[in-house]
Structure 1
């Protein structure tokens, strides 16, 4: 796969289209989604290669469960440490493994598509602005506000999860933890982008080490490496079996179990698409972001597929403890296996790591939400006040607005307000799939425009041949999953208003926003022949920076991210 990747240090291009030599309409380049003067002058390039590369791993593994006594709900990044057991109980060890493997492949397709487009257009708010450039300005508006709303509500859900996790150790009033996390998140959000990068870099390293530790621990327990513990092997794959029937019986029931896990696994990977949100604040983004995207395949294999395999070996799919609704480390399949082996201290360790994961997810949501809002303001789709930045390059008005939304976390302290809060969250529950569909559509439109304008793919700053077929395949899969994610509500006796809303209402909201902006601004779908590709290639050629050679021990340590 790596052999197919091409890096271009320069490419000759002009403002004339290669499909006939016609001059582009004057002023079109200024209307296009290239890096603006605001981004160049007001933002700071403080994120380096190592920050971006580990953010991919961090996004993939930012998984925790937001659960409470009144509502048993999953946050969007909630499955690796605590929630994998639920997948095993629903689909069985093999069904879960296949489900996560398929979604892992889709994630790789999404990341490669994002990397190729971002290498050409490294702008703030990433695929939101790409959609305006490659599809329709109304598409950028609709997807952008969907992301803003989703990220603004994401932080209160993470704070709610942290409160539940702390209850594992103490009965201290949750208000204390809410205020503490709001202050800490606001402090990181108002700091320079480099501070954010260093904080997330530290969390990512900690999480990677911990995941590897849990996988190795699981293998040791499974193989009988703990004194007094018998070897388990693949015992649970034989009895109760590799698959679990879900809703129906027989082969159809086993397939529905697999499909249910695949649909929910999408939200385990929420956040991987945010890697390019701060492209204009990244050093040499045309190299750094694609390089980070390229490494997602191996990390998905390690962090999820291998973890699901080990969990399926450790715990039986009919173990009642997998349905524990405490929301703390007690429900983790790793903790269940470690407790059975007589290993103490593992529950507290898992709980502590999940707390850091929750706070890290809040930081990522703050960065993504504020940069998308800033990008919308750049395109005059949001008030210009959101363009105001500090002297160190932080869009502080955007940060202040999102911080105000963090106080919605206090709604989780009231049983009546809690219901309203979760309905607000459910409105954009399928936003992850909509974002992935947008990324894949952007890339598909880019390649289609290049064919129409007779532009060779060799001009792309970064390209992999497999994306020419992987993007349409992943796009079809994402659309199918989007429309079938709530299939259970249409089966006899399983109707759930909240599940229906979380599965489908966001589709209507995004469609309404798209049509509304299209009607007000009378926008049109951009013709493939009119997309100013050559101007983009010219800028890409001008922006190339020489790659720095890292000497000594840092080169060997840097294999994790370089």
Structure 2
């Protein structure tokens, strides 16, 4: 079997495939490279906080205002609630599959085993490209935030400083990366809690000389905003337009499983992280958007500010109106850490996905080289090379071209979520085909089979309608069209091209190595249920 798999590049490729009930114990789900070369340096608290750090950022601190302006307070709340339900389904599907296949590259490698090597190739390189382009975009955003305080220093200086720091974090032991992201996530959570409490105080009239607001702005100008059209249709379009912003805000939660092979006890820790991260993020976002809708009118022109700094934050607008002057700098500082944190997370997602592609022969073997501390340094080196695009922010013309590159993968997060849902659906179908009960899986939830179909269909609809505004009269915009749709044909061309060249086929359900993976999980000495002890029972963040 090992020779056959090596010959065809992985499970589910062409010609002969060994039946699922007969397998060689030497061929393991977690590749030998991962077992020998990578180091399990990420703990449970790291994994959970990495996902929170990735999803709490500019979308929450700066982007909620534009959502309120587009859909109104209730329209925005419903939009984020709907996307939150999709994220819940995606997270549970990811948890269930990762617990069975805890491999580097997460859902990209899962597609290789469960769906089609061609899909793994296309989605994998889409993730790599998106992550590689995200680093310079986040660094550019961080430079804008720094210039909120000081515009006299050449932007190239800040770019250099941020890149050096990012590279240091990327090449040091993965546990150091975990600690850095843990600290940043803690800062963000404290700020979210702080601004929510501050918002309640302002809303309830706790600031001297300021009246109690309550739900005043829900009454006037109203809970919904008409977008493009009039009447009920316009209010619905406002709600629908917010969904794209909500997807962007939640993007990053899927990356918590990218380094599964570098996580301690991944079969237990990653499902726990997926469940808890979804709940905490949804609560944070729903509370934040509820408070923002109570504090700022949807007609406030300041919500459409596109400065990229704290001045466009609805929390800052509310605090300024209440006469609280320290909030803008505090928000700007934490959003700055958010931008750099997102850069670090993109490095993790990009390098680990590239490493996973190299394991399966979808990328050159040179990317399998690691340091003695388990860091795939050649993957990091390629990522760093792309990071030098950050210097394009020094020139306004170059920056325009750069953002066109970034726009190419704006829809990538929906494609990734669709891949996660499809992987889980295929796993459920394989279990049924092979007569294996889902209860035998390392982790299973009875609602996941329905949730995955909901997520797959919802993400497909959002992907196809995300740029609907450009097709309405007088709203055509080339950059919006590119950011919404160009990634779809790119992924399809790569997928179909790989299938044509390599002649891959969908993995037959009876040949998915489910029984082998279950037995590996049962024999995994690290796969032991995690029990909270002492004060950990009171820890609502990562315990």
TM-score, scaled to structure 1: 0.91
Within the candidate set 516, 521, 527, 2:508 is matched to 527
- The answer for the alignment partner of 2:14 in structure 1 is none
- The answer for the alignment partner of 2:122 in structure 1 is 142
- The answer for the alignment partner of 1:132 in structure 2 is 112
Report the alpha carbon displacement of residue 298 of structure 1 after superposing the two structures with TM: 2.2
- The answer for the alignment partner of 2:11 in structure 1 is none
Q: Secondary structure at the match of 1:447?
A: helix
Q: How does 1:496-507 map to 2 (within 5 A)?
A: 496-507=477-488
Within the candidate set 118, 126, 131, 2:98 is matched to 118
Within the candidate set 47, 51, 58, 1:56 is matched to 51
Report the Cα distance in structure 2 between the residues aligned to 1:31 and 1:524, rounded to whole angstroms.
21
- The answer for the alignment partner of 1:221 in structure 2 is 202
Q: How does 1:320-339 map to 2 (within 5 A)?
A: 320-339=301-320
- Verify the 8 A CA contact 1:284 1:544 in the aligned structure 2: no
Within the candidate set 81, 87, 102, 1:107 is matched to 87
Cα distance 1:520–1:28, how it changes in 2: closer, same or farther (>3 A)?
A: farther
Q: How does 1:453-492 map to 2 (within 5 A)?
A: 453-492=434-473
- The answer for the alignment partner of 2:414 in structure 1 is 433
Q: How does 1:130-529 map to 2 (within 5 A)?
A: 130-171=110-151, 172-529=153-510
Report the alpha carbon displacement of residue 300 of structure 1 after superposing the two structures with TM: 2.4
- The answer for the alignment partner of 2:76 in structure 1 is 96
- Verify the 8 A CA contact 1:234 1:313 in the aligned structure 2: yes
- Verify the 8 A CA contact 1:158 1:358 in the aligned structure 2: yes
- The answer for the alignment partner of 1:80 in structure 2 is 60
Report the alpha carbon displacement of residue 548 of structure 1 after superposing the two structures with TM: 5.8
480-489 vs 404-413, which moves further: 404-413
Report the alpha carbon displacement of residue 24 of structure 1 after superposing the two structures with TM: 3.8
Cα distance 1:271–1:297, how it changes in 2: closer, same or farther (>3 A)?
A: closer
Report the alpha carbon displacement of residue 59 of structure 1 after superposing the two structures with TM: 2.3
396-405 vs 538-547, which moves further: 538-547
Q: Secondary structure at the match of 2:71?
A: helix
- The answer for the alignment partner of 2:10 in structure 1 is none
Report the alpha carbon displacement of residue 296 of structure 1 after superposing the two structures with TM: 2.7
- The answer for the alignment partner of 1:3 in structure 2 is none
Q: Deviations for 1:112-152, whole angstroms, at most 9, x for unmatched residues? A: 00000000000000000000100000000000000000000
Cα distance 1:177–1:221, how it changes in 2: closer, same or farther (>3 A)?
A: same
- Verify the 8 A CA contact 1:29 1:532 in the aligned structure 2: no
* C-alpha RMSD of the superposition: 1.5
TM-score, scaled to structure 2: 0.94
- Verify the 8 A CA contact 1:152 1:365 in the aligned structure 2: yes
Q: Secondary structure at the match of 1:80?
A: helix
Report the Cα distance in structure 1 between the residues aligned to 2:480 and 2:33, rounded to whole angstroms.
42
- Verify the 8 A CA contact 1:243 1:254 in the aligned structure 2: yes
- The answer for the alignment partner of 2:6 in structure 1 is none
Report the Cα distance in structure 1 between the residues aligned to 2:128 and 2:214, rounded to whole angstroms.
46
Report the alpha carbon displacement of residue 60 of structure 1 after superposing the two structures with TM: 2.3
- Verify the 8 A CA contact 1:28 1:532 in the aligned structure 2: no
Q: Deviations for 1:55-106, whole angstroms, at most 9, x for unmatched residues? A: 2322221x22xxxxxxxxxxxxxx2101100000000000000000100111
